[in-house]
Amino acid sequence: MENIKRAPKNLKDAGRRFWKDVLRDFILEKRHDFELLSQACECLDRMEECREKIIKDGLFQQDRYSRPVEHDAAKIERAQKRLFLSLIREMGLTLQRTESQQRRRLY
């Protein structure tokens, strides 16, 4: 088993927090798991950067005809969320449902 504890230096706050949380809560056994984790952390950092840009500029921009269009950062954030979830599934980092969640019905 690989013993990688330190987060990659290129990670920002959100990515570093997630790195530490995953290593605290899960046992990663293979080197490629750490690579997938690194990519997932980078996704979180990009999502945070996009959120900051959207907060600053607003969710909509104007196109060249002065019509409102979705901010490019919102599109990037959405793509990063999909990639993040895909990486998490690939790593098998699923959360166990609590007993109360298992009994809850969706209707």
Phi/psi for 27 (5° steps) reads: -105, 115
In a domain, 37, yes or no: yes
Distances (CA, A) of 59 to 68, 72, 75: 9, 9, 10
Is residue 44 one of the residues assigned to a domain? yes
- The total domain count for the chain is 1
- Considering the domain boundaries, does residue 41 fall inside one? yes
Task: Give the residue numbers spanning the domain of 47.
Answer: 13-95
Q: Is residue 3 in a domain?
A: no
Residue 35 CA to residue 97 CA, distance in Å, equals 26
Question: Confidence class of residue 104 from pLDDT cuts 50, 70 and 90?
Answer: very low
pLDDT of residue 71 exceeding 70, the answer is yes
Going by DSSP bridges, is the β-strand pair 60-62/68-70 parallel, antiparallel, or unpaired?
antiparallel
CA dist 82 and 34 (Å) reads 19
Is residue 34 within 8 Å of residue 23, measured between CB atoms?
no
The answer to whether residue 105 is domain-embedded is: no
Q: Is residue 84 part of a domain?
A: yes
Task: Judge whether 45 lies within some domain.
Answer: yes
| Structural domain contains residue 76 | yes
Predicted confidence band of residue 101 (pLDDT cuts 50, 70, 90): very low
